[in-house]
């Protein structure tokens, strides 16, 4: 006859429901990033007007990693090209742009929006806020410069912050 295995129950301490709820809220709050807030007033500087005009001219341009010419653009190359039109120098990569440009709480047309699309916690994507809930950006391999709504869950979940290099 095979030996009998004893089944012992160990007491598992019960956690009060209120504590579980509180811990869940804290965890969710820790995962929440900054709010993607915008303001669309009609008073744009000449520099912002030039940035937006240049950015719009790149619509349909093929994505090219490291590209910074009208023949092919990546997201930070698009920013560099559009800002150069207004005589404003910006760093080359989205990460450096995010680290070095003046942060703001609410984006206006012409400001930069930064996102963590690679999941590493760093700015890996940047777009130019156009106003009315839209940004222009170079989305990635096999795609073309386009506009996107910034209130999509995809962008809201990856949003890191905004910067205003233009007056």
3 state SS of 89: coil
Instruction: Delineate the domains of the chain, giving CATH numbers in brackets.
Output: 35-163 (3.90.1720.10)
Q: Which of 91, 112, 97, 90 is nearest to 36 (CA)?
A: 112
Enzyme catalytic residues: 75, 125, 137
pLDDT digits (tens, 9 = 90+) for 96-152: 999 999 999 999 999 999 999 999 999 999 999 999 999 999 999 999 999 999 999
- Residue tagged 């962008």 (tokens): 155
Closest CA to 162 of 136, 123, 133: 123
Alpha carbon distance 95, 76 (integer Å): 9
Q: Give the helix/strand (H/E) hosting 104.
A: strand 103-104
pLDDT digits (tens, 9 = 90+) for 4-46: 444 444 444 454 554 444 444 333 434 456 888 888 877 899 9
């Amino acid at each position: 006859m095979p030996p009998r295995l004893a089944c012992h129950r160990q007491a598992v301490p019960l956690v009060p429901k209120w504590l579980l709820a509180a811990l869940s809220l804290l965890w969710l709050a820790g995962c929440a990033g900054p709010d993607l807030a915008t303001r669309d007033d009609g008073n744009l500087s000449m520099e912002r007007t030039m940035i937006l005009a240049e950015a719009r001219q790149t619509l349909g341009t093929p994505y090219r990693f490291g590209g910074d010419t009208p023949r092919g653009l990546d997201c930070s190359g698009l920013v560099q090209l559009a800002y150069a039109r207004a005589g404003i120098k910006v760093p080359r990569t989205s990460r450096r742009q995010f680290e070095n440009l003046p942060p703001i709480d609410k984006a206006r047309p012409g400001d930069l929006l930064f996102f963590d699309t690679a999941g590493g916690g760093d700015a890996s994507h940047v777009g130019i806020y156009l106003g009315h809930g839209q940004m222009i950006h170079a989305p990635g391999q096999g795609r073309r410069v386009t506009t996107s709504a910034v209130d999509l869950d995809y962008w809201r979940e990856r949003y890191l912050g905004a910067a205003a290099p233009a007056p």
